[in-house]
Amino acid sequence: MPSGHHTTFDGRARLRAASIHLVLSVLVAVLTALLVFELWYPYPYREISGGRELFQLVVSVDIVLGPLLTFAVFNPGKGLDLLKRDLVVIVLVQLAGLAYGLWTVHLARPVHMVFEYDRFRVVHQVDIPPELASRVPAGMQLAPPGGPTVIALRPFRNAREESDFTMAALNGLPLAARTELWEPYGVARGEVLKAARPIIQLEQRFPQRAAEIEAVLRRTGHDAAHAAYLPLVARSARAWTVLLDAGTADPIGYLPLDSF
């Protein structure tokens, strides 16, 4: 009988300890989510760049790992010193896993949305070859700490450069990832507006999505007459569309719509 009583107590103690650990793990996950989704992957990048899926994988493993290990090793009969040591090791393992996962999410994060002559493309830090990191133009940043920014590509200097860079793009290095081509978005606003297409064309191509397009425009204080669009190349399988102010070329909205 005493043995059975001890087993019941031990099981309840383990469950309580694991539950406390789970609550603390969820709290850490919520704080981490604020960092990831407010800074590294703000909308629409959490959808476009797959940030949500990557974060969920990292955090779900971490949340499950810690409480399970606590449930497995927690035993008040071990003595306080041994119990503290076990719990410290578990927390360190859990934090190491979270740190590695966050580092992976950080490296995969979007750094710029780039106007690529006739479209936009989201560039992620891992897309940029290390040897190109030193070729970022003065006054621009490879990976802004405050989250992704909108930039553009300068015109090709000559036919040779265009040919070489285009061939490299066909072999997997996007033009938008070539840092030596980067220039501030403000310099290219005229080119953006030349390439942009009237919203009416988008609504004619996708009449079943016209109400959705109009709703996005209304939320930004625009109408079809004062807006334009360009397609957006992203990491995810779904193609997107960027809605632009027809006067300033500023991005004003995004739609999960293939407008190529």
pLDDT in tens, 184-229: 999 999 999 999 999 999 999 999 999 999 999 999 899 999 999 9
Q: What angle do CA 22, 56, 24 make, to 5 degrees?
A: 20
**Which pTM value belongs to this model?**
0.81
**Residue-level pLDDT at 160:** 95
Mean pLDDT confidence for 113-140:
94
Share of the chain above pLDDT 70, in %: 95
Answer yes or no: are the C-beta atoms of 228 and 193 closer than 8 Å: yes
Q: What are phi and psi of 144, to 5 degrees?
A: -60, 130
- Residue 216's closest CA among 247, 255, 259? 255
**Residue-level pLDDT at 207:** 93
Q: pLDDT by residue (tens digit) across 68-100? A: 888 888 877 777 888 888 888 888 988 888 888
Answer yes or no: are the C-beta atoms of 251 and 192 closer than 8 Å: no
Torsion region of 124: left, alpha or beta (phi above 0 gives left; psi -120 to 50 gives alpha): beta
Sign of the CA dihedral with 59 first, then 60, 62, and 63 last? positive
Label the pairing between strands 227-233 and 120-124. Answer: parallel
Q: State how far the alpha carbon of 16 is from the alpha carbons of 29, 218, 237, 251, in Å.
A: 20, 51, 43, 50
The Cα–Cα gap between 251 and 49 comes to 17
Mean pLDDT confidence for 21-43:
88
Considering only 31-40, 55-64, 126-135, 194-203, which range has the smallest mean pLDDT?
Answer: 55-64
Structure tokens of 243? 């809605």
**Residue-level pLDDT at 237:** 58
Structure tokens of 1? 């009988």
Answer yes or no: are the C-beta atoms of 229 and 242 closer than 8 Å: yes
Question: Which tops the pLDDT comparison, 66 or 191?
Answer: 191
Q: How many residues does the chain have?
A: 260
